[in-house]
Structure 1
C-alpha cells in the first residue's frame, strides 16, 4: 500500500496522541488499535463502546475475548493485533517505541512494518522513534506534538514532605511495599500499582487515588505506560532497575516516560527523587543536570536499532522453525531480538523425547503456539517449559479435557492468603485464562474461559482488599492532619518480636497477652505515647487473641495443670467432680481482653482441649458409668476406686469381693480388665493418656513417657507399673504373664505341680529371677530341680511350679463363700440393715 497513508504521530506523554487516534478510529467505517497493556486496551475499549455501542466494538487480549458478531472496531493487545493489510479501514499502533524493548520489541516491530489499515495507518510513540520510521517506512508522514503542560524538576523531597497527589515510583516489590507502609503510617496510606497485579486490581487501586481516598500512589515503572492519573508530582525512589540482564541506570527517555505522568492537559507537573531512601545501599538517588535538562526539554538520544524476529517462520520441522526464528534481519536498522521466553521454551522442549513425534507443518505450528504461552507466573524458563510440556501431552492428542482444566481452575479458586500468595494465584489463573481463550485448545472453551475470568475477578477483589487493608488507614489519614494532644489518636503498632510501637517509639513488649512497659519509656515527654499504648492495647491484644483463635494452635500445650501458649499461661485447669474434662480458669490477662475476642479465644481453647482429651475416653466412660444407677453400689464403688487411681487399682484396694459376678460384663464393656492382682483399663496404660493425666496435673506420680514394658525398679514407681524384683513391669503385661501361668497350670495333670515356660516374661524384658518374683506375687511358687551329678550328662531338670495362694487370699475366698445368715436370726436383721444403708 502507499506509504503516504501511514502517519507517525510522535511526542512525549500528555500530548493527546491516544485521544487523536481514537477520534480517527471512530471516523472510519472499521478499525483496529493495538496497545502494550490489556489495561490500556480495556480503557480505550470502554471509550469506543461509549461512542459506537457494545455491538460494534470487540476486545481481544491474551486472557479475554469480547467479540460481538459483526463488530467493526477492535481494541487489542499488540500480540493479538491483526497483521494482514486492508482488512480494516484504520489501524493504529500505540507506544511504537517499544519496538526497541528487549523482551517484546520484535512483536512491536512486526506490527510497525506489517499492520496496515486500508485507508489510514497511525503509529503513536516517542519522538526518539523518528529515525527508525524514516529508515523503515520512507514515505510515512511524521508529525510531532508538543506536550500540553510543562515538567519541572524540584529536587529531592522527604517522604513526610511530599506534596499531596504524588506518585512514588520504585523498581522492586520490596521497595514498593516499604514506601507504601511508611505512607500508611505517616500519611494514612497509599494506592499500590505494580505490573504483577491483575488489571482489575490495578483499576481499583487507581480508583482509590483518583477518588481522593488516598493522596499518594506507589508504583513500579508500569505507571509510565499510558495510565492516566491525576498526579501533580512524581518522586523516584530509585534510578536503577534490573532489565532482565543486569542492574542499570534508567535511560533519560525512560525517566521522562515515568515523570511525564505528572501534570495532565494544561496543568503543569513536577518531578524529583525521594530523599532519605539510600540506606545501606548508599546516598539517595539524584538526577544529573544533563538528565534534568533532557526530561524538561524532551530531548533524548534517538533510537538507532529496533529488535526483529522472523514473523512468518517455516513450520516444516522444529529445527527449521528454530533456525528461522534465529535468522538475523537483513535491514541495517533492525537487530535480532534476544532469545525470548517462547523461543527458550521451544529449544528446551525440542530436546525432549516427545519432540521427535512433532512432525508436519500443522503439528509443528501447534507446538510453536503452545511454546508461545506467556510466562505469567515469572517462574523462569525451566519451570515454564515443564508447564508447557504437560499441556502438550493433551494438545498433541487434540484438546485439553474440560475436566482437567476445571480442576486446575478450582485449585486456584481460593481467596485466602497474603498479598504475595494472591498475586501468585492471579498469575496462575491468567495462564489458564489464556489457554481457555485459544479457539482450538480446550473443550467447552466458553464455559472454561468464563470460569477462569470469574476466579480472576474473585482473586482480584481479595487482593485489592489485602492491599487496602495493609497500606491504607483512612482514620490515620484524617487524624494526621489535625493531631493534637489526644493520645488515643496516635498510631500504635505491634512489631513481629512483640515490641509495642507508638509513632515508631518502643513503649514496651507484649509477651503472650501481657504488656510489660519499657523502663526507658518513663520520660515526661513520652507520657502521651505511653498513654496511647495503654489505650491501644485492648485492640492489639484482641486482634492477637482472634488470630490465635482461628489458627491451628500449634504452639498451645498442656503443662503442669495449665494451658500455655509459648510458655505463657492462658488458663489454669480446675478438676470437676464426675468429669474428665476440667474447668477453664482464664488467666488475668485473658480476662482483661475485649469481650468478643475473649469469648472467641476461650471457645477455641475449649474446643482444642476437647480434642486433646480424646485419649482419656475410657476414663470418661468410667465417670458416666459411676453415675449410672443401674451399676449398683458395689460396681460404683469399684469405678470410683479406678477413677481415683487414674485407670488402675489393686484387687486389695478395689473391694472386689463384694462385687456381684453379673456386674463384671457391664464393667468389661466399658474397658475394665479384671486381673490376677490388679483391675485396670488397658487403654489408659498407653503413653498418650498417661502423659495427658500428668500434664493435667491429675496424676502427680512419676511419669514414664514412653510407657516401656519393663523399667528398673524404684521406690516410687511411675503410674501403671508393678514391682518385679530389681525391675518393674507394666500392669497389662504383668497380667499377660499371670494368665499364661494359669493356662499352664490348667493344662497340667491333676497333680498340683506343673511346668512353666518363662520365655514370655523374658521376651518382654524381665530377668528370670525377677519373673519368678513377679509370679510369686500372684501365688506361684517355684521349686528348682537338684543339679545333675557330676558323672551324669544331659539337660538340666526343669523347675516345677505350683500355685499356692497366700493365707490372706484364701481368707478372702472363704469370706466370699460364707453362707448367708439364717432367716429370722439377729444376723439376718443386721444384714438387712446393712443393705438398706
Structure 2
C-alpha cells in the first residue's frame, strides 16, 4: 500500500503518525513544507498536535481564540502547564520554559524558532477582513524542520503557486454526510444543531425549541471561552438535546451532533448581506456526524431559502470549486514617514494570485487618526508612527461606529505618547468599574464581554499600562464573572430546569466561591456581596433556600471568624468610609442616612444574612462607636477655641459649610477680627484664600472622608471618589459645596487652587503644580488657560511695596 493510502486511511489510535517522505523538497530555509487538505472530521488538527508532541516542541496558529484555548488545554494535560504558552489578542500565558506555542494566527510570534510550525484553516485566506494575515503566514511562517498547512482542499491550486515546494496530502471524511428533507422546528430529531446568522433570529428559534423540548444550548462567536464551554457542556452532557448557533460552530467545535439544519443561507458580514460560499456551508454542515457516525444536514421548513441540487451534491461529497485568488497586504512596512508607510501598505507583488485587502478596519482607523493635527505631529517620528499603527490595530470587538472607535483610539494614543507614556490607571479603573457590574440582560452581558475583550487586548500589549500584571488579573476576573453570569442567564432563559427538578430539595455539591459568586458543580448558585447571599431562581427551585444558605455559610466561615475576632478587640480602626457607607474590608456593614442635623445622622445595619446573632449586633454597635468618634474629631476642628463672639460666628459658618465657606459670607466678620483673633485662626491652620475661607486640616484623609460622608447622606449623592482626588474631571453640582473650585472643564480642590495660583503668579512657566495635582503636562497646560492673570494694578502695587521695602532697608543700614 502506498504512503498516500496509509495517510488517507489513518484512524485515531490505529496507525501511528508516519514520517513524511524523505524525498520531500525542502524550503530554502531548510523546512519541509506539507499541506494537509480535506474537509472536516478528518483528524487534521489531531495529527498536527501529535506531530508537535513527537518533536517535543512546536507552534500552531489557529483561527479562533476559543479553538486556541481548547488546544492549549489538551497540551497542558499532556505536557504540563509550565511548557505551554497561549497567545491570543485578549490573553497571554507565557511560562518560563515554553516548548509549545498555541496562538491565534494574528498573534503568532514568527521570531520564535520551533521544529514545526502549523497554520490551521488556511482557507480563511479567502476572508475579506482576515485573509491577508493567513496569506502572510503561508508565505512567511516556517519551522526549522517542518511546516504544515491545514485546511480545505479548495486551497490546493493556490498553494501550488504560493508554495510550490509543498507536498500535498488529501484526507477523506471518516463518516458520510447525507441530505435530509426540510424539517419543522417542532419535530427536530435529538442531537440536532440549528444555524442562524442574526442574534434576534437565533433567540427566537431557541425560545421555540425550549418551549417544545424543555431546553436548548446557545453558541455565539461573542461568547467568552468559559461561557462557550459551559453551553457546550449542557449539550454534551445530555441536559439538552438541541443547540442553536451562528457559524461559529463551523471551526473547531467537536460536538456529538447528528444533524445540522440551516435557518438561513445569507449573513451580514459587517458591510453587506451576502450569500454563504459553498465551502462555508460545507464547513458548517460537516460538523454533523463525528468520527464514524453518519451526519445529516438540511433546511428548516420555516426558511424561505433552499439548497439547490448541485449544492447538496457538493456538500455531501465535500467537493468544491478551487480558489484562484487570496487576499494580500504587505507586511514589510516602512515607518520613515506617514507617506512612505501608506505607500508600503499598498505595495503588491505583480501577480494575479493576490487580491488587495483594502478598506480594512485598521486602515480606516489609521486614516481617521492622522486627520487630527496633534496626532499627525506625534506620528512624524518613526517610533510615533509605529505606535500609531499598533493602536490602529486594536480590534473593534464592540462593533461601534467608525467615528466612536476612532475617538477611543485617539484617546489611547494621546495617553501613550504623553509624558507618562502609559494609559492612565484612573481612566482605566473608571471604565472597568462600569463593566464590573455583573447584572443585566443577555444583550448587556454580551456587550460588556465585548468591551472587556478590548481592554484585555490593550492590557496585554507591552508597556501600555502601569502594573500590567494587576490589570490583566482584574480584567480576567471580570470576564470570568461576566461569563458565569451570562451562562446562568442563558440557562435561565433557555433551559427549563424546574420541569426536571425533583419535588424534594437536594443538597448542592462541590460548593465553592470564585470572586463574588457562589458556584456548585452545576453552575452559579448566587452572588455573595457584603456578607449577604442572593440566590438565583433556578438554585432556589432545585436546592431550596435552607440548603443553599447552609452551604454558603460554610464557604464564608473563615471571613465571619475574622470579623468576630476583630470586633472582640478594643481597636476601633477596622472600619472605613466610602460615600455614605461604612465598610469592613470590602464588605458594607452599615449605611449612614439623613438625621435631624448634619452631625446627628441615622446609622442602620446592613442585612448581612451570612452573619448570625449575636455577632451581627456587636458589629453594629462597634460601627456606631467608630462613626461617633469620626464626628467628634471633625467637630473638634470646627468648634471655636475661645468665647469670642466674632470667632464663634466665624466657626459657626465654617461648621455649617464643613470647613470651607465662601468669602462673600464672612467678609464683614473678617474685617471685625482683631490681631489676636487672627493669630488664633492661624494657629488652627484656617486660611483666607482667594475664593474661600477654609481649614487646611479638613483635607486630612480621615477628616475629609467624614466630610464627604456627611455631604453624601445630606444631598443623597455618591462622592466616594472625591475622598482622595485633588483634581476631578466630571461635572457635578455638589462639588461647589465640597471645597472644589471650577477651572475650565476640571474641578480643583480649593487649597490646591490657592497654591497653584500663587505659584503661577510667581513663575508662569513653572511646572511644580504638575506634581501637586498629580496630572500630566497636557492637563496642566489646559488648566493654565483658565487661571487668573495678574493685573497691571497688582503688579504696580507689588513694585511700590518692593521699593518701600528697599528704602526702609537702606535707612536701617545708615542708622
**TM-score, normalized by length of structure 2?**
0.57
1:447 pairs with 464, 467, 470, which one? 470
* Secondary structure of 1:48 counterpart: helix
1:459 pairs with 482, 496, 503, which one? 482
- Residue 327 of structure 1 pairs with residue 375 of structure 2: no
* Secondary structure of 2:464 counterpart: coil
How far did 1:160 drift?
1.1
* Secondary structure of 1:92 counterpart: strand
* Alignment map for 1:498-513 (pairs within 5 Å): none
* Secondary structure of 1:263 counterpart: coil
1:471 pairs with 494, 501, 525, which one? 494
* Secondary structure of 2:164 counterpart: coil
* Alignment map for 1:286-305 (pairs within 5 Å): 286-305=306-325
Identify the residue that residue 97 of structure 1 maps to in structure 2: 123
- Residue 45 of structure 1 pairs with residue 72 of structure 2: yes
How far did 1:241 drift?
1.2
Identify the residue that residue 176 of structure 1 maps to in structure 2: 202
* Alignment map for 1:156-305 (pairs within 5 Å): 156-277=182-303, 284-305=304-325
2:370 pairs with 350, 353, 364, which one? 350
* Secondary structure of 1:393 counterpart: helix
1:221, 1:430 → 2: CA distance? 20
Structure 1 unaligned blocks of 5 or more: 278-283, 480-538, 544-610, 615-837
Q: Do 1:308 and 1:329's aligned partners in 2 also have CA atoms closer than 8 Å?
A: no
Change (3 A) 1:478 1:455: closer
Q: Do 1:329 and 1:336's aligned partners in 2 also have CA atoms closer than 8 Å?
A: no
How far did 1:146 drift?
0.4
2:463, 2:322 → 1: CA distance? 43
Q: Do 1:185 and 1:476's aligned partners in 2 also have CA atoms closer than 8 Å?
A: no
* Secondary structure of 2:397 counterpart: coil
RMSD of aligned residue pairs (Cα, Å): 2.3
1:472, 1:71 → 2: CA distance? 41
How far did 1:4 drift?
6.6
1:319, 1:43 → 2: CA distance? 42
Q: Do 2:192 and 2:242's aligned partners in 1 also have CA atoms closer than 8 Å?
A: yes
Q: Deviations over 1:183-229 (max 9, x none)?
A: 11111121111112222211111111111111000000111011111
Identify the residue that residue 530 of structure 1 maps to in structure 2: none
1:337, 1:477 → 2: CA distance? 52
Identify the residue that residue 17 of structure 1 maps to in structure 2: 44
How far did 1:477 drift?
6.8
Q: Do 1:90 and 1:121's aligned partners in 2 also have CA atoms closer than 8 Å?
A: yes
2:373, 2:222 → 1: CA distance? 34
Q: Do 1:4 and 1:139's aligned partners in 2 also have CA atoms closer than 8 Å?
A: no
Tell me which stretches of 4 or more aligned residues in structure 1 moved more than 6 Å: none
Q: Do 2:192 and 2:260's aligned partners in 1 also have CA atoms closer than 8 Å?
A: yes
Q: Which has the larger radius of gyration?
A: 1
How far did 1:245 drift?
3.2
How far did 1:331 drift?
2.9
* Secondary structure of 1:400 counterpart: coil
Q: Deviations over 1:39-67 (max 9, x none)?
A: 11111011111111111111111111111
2:302, 2:197 → 1: CA distance? 16
Identify the residue that residue 431 of structure 1 maps to in structure 2: 454
Q: Deviations over 1:449-498 (max 9, x none)?
A: 1101100111111111111111111344799xxxxxxxxxxxxxxxxxxx
1:112 pairs with 133, 138, 145, which one? 138
* Secondary structure of 2:35 counterpart: strand
2:430 pairs with 374, 392, 407, which one? 407
Q: Do 1:234 and 1:270's aligned partners in 2 also have CA atoms closer than 8 Å?
A: yes
- Residue 56 of structure 1 pairs with residue 83 of structure 2: yes
1:386 pairs with 401, 407, 413, which one? 407
2:284, 2:113 → 1: CA distance? 35
**TM-score, normalized by length of structure 1?**
0.56
Q: Do 2:31 and 2:145's aligned partners in 1 also have CA atoms closer than 8 Å?
A: no
1:125 pairs with 151, 154, 168, which one? 151
Q: Do 1:58 and 1:66's aligned partners in 2 also have CA atoms closer than 8 Å?
A: yes
How far did 1:180 drift?
0.3
1:422 pairs with 441, 445, 457, which one? 445
* Secondary structure of 2:34 counterpart: strand
Q: Do 1:96 and 1:108's aligned partners in 2 also have CA atoms closer than 8 Å?
A: yes
2:73, 2:236 → 1: CA distance? 18
1:463, 1:426 → 2: CA distance? 9
Q: Do 1:187 and 1:476's aligned partners in 2 also have CA atoms closer than 8 Å?
A: no
Q: Do 2:378 and 2:417's aligned partners in 1 also have CA atoms closer than 8 Å?
A: no
2:350, 2:324 → 1: CA distance? 15
Q: Deviations over 1:683-706 (max 9, x none)?
A: xxxxxxxxxxxxxxxxxxxxxxxx
Structure 2 unaligned blocks of 5 or more: 1-26, 503-536, 542-592, 597-815
* Secondary structure of 1:91 counterpart: strand
2:369, 2:459 → 1: CA distance? 22
* Secondary structure of 2:296 counterpart: strand
Identify the residue that residue 53 of structure 2 maps to in structure 1: 26
How far did 1:285 drift?
2.1
How far did 1:381 drift?
1.8
Number of residue pairs aligned between Structure 1 and Structure 2:
480
Q: Do 1:82 and 1:115's aligned partners in 2 also have CA atoms closer than 8 Å?
A: no
- Residue 376 of structure 1 pairs with residue 397 of structure 2: yes
2:349, 2:405 → 1: CA distance? 28
1:140, 1:153 → 2: CA distance? 35
2:81, 2:444 → 1: CA distance? 36
Q: Do 1:4 and 1:140's aligned partners in 2 also have CA atoms closer than 8 Å?
A: no
- Residue 338 of structure 1 pairs with residue 358 of structure 2: yes
